[in-house]
Amino acid sequence: MPEPGAAVREDMPTSPIEGLRYRRLDAPGDYRRMNEIANAVRVANGDTFYTTDEQFQHFYEHLENCDPARDLFLADLDDRLVGYVRVAWFTRPRSASTSRSSSSTPRLPTGRFSRHCSISPSGECWRSRPRTLACSASRR
């Protein structure tokens, strides 16, 4: 985890919430806490699936269609990691009817973006702060 008060890249937004700071991944040091958050979210959602720290690290070290340096954002509250967001892209196979075109104009690939957001459901990270740290996330 970066030292308190460490420089934040200029392309990261600032937060109006006191003590909340957005930053980039500090691998592999962030993986353990990210996994704690991911597993806590799963428990809160009633899921029985969980990952070990080793499985989580392996997954993040072998991401496809995602560049963690560009596509992963973390949120620290009072210098403790409380959430992260990852985006990725994937292409959908085209059906035979959409893959043929009489036009000479090149077609863009058919694709979608996927986003994953995990915010610690624990009340300890929200002491005296409104629950304004939120995002829209697709459930798996």
Q: Is 6 inside any structural domain? A: no
| CB environment 38-73: b (16+ within 10 A), e (fewer) | bbbbbeeeeeeeeeeeeebbeebeeeeebeeeebbb
* Count of domains observed in the chain: 1
Q: Is 51 inside any structural domain? A: yes
Residue predicted with more confidence, 12 or 135: 12
Question: Do the beta carbons of residue 87 and residue 137 sit within 8 Å?
Answer: no
Q: Which domain holds residue 51?
A: 20-98+105-126
Q: Is 94 inside any structural domain? A: yes
- The CATH code of the domain that includes 92 is 3.40.630.30
Give residue 112's pLDDT.
63
Read off the pTM.
0.67
Question: Do the beta carbons of residue 51 and residue 59 sit within 8 Å?
Answer: yes
Distances (CA, A) of 22 to 81, 126, 132: 10, 16, 14
What pLDDT, in 10s, does the model give residues 52-108? 999 999 999 999 989 998 899 999 999 999 999 998 887 766 554 444 444 444 444
CA angle 129, 130, 136 (to 5 degrees): 125
**What would the mean pLDDT of 14-28 be, rounded to a whole number?**
93
Q: Is 133 inside any structural domain? A: no
Q: Is 64 inside any structural domain? A: yes
What pLDDT, in 10s, does the model give residues 112-139? 666 677 777 764 444 434 343 344 333 3
User: How many other CB atoms sit within 10 Å of the CB of residue 20?
Assistant: 17
Q: Is 66 inside any structural domain? A: yes
- Residue 13: is its pLDDT beyond 90? no
Q: Is 3 inside any structural domain? A: no
Give residue 107's pLDDT.
45
Q: Is 71 inside any structural domain? A: yes
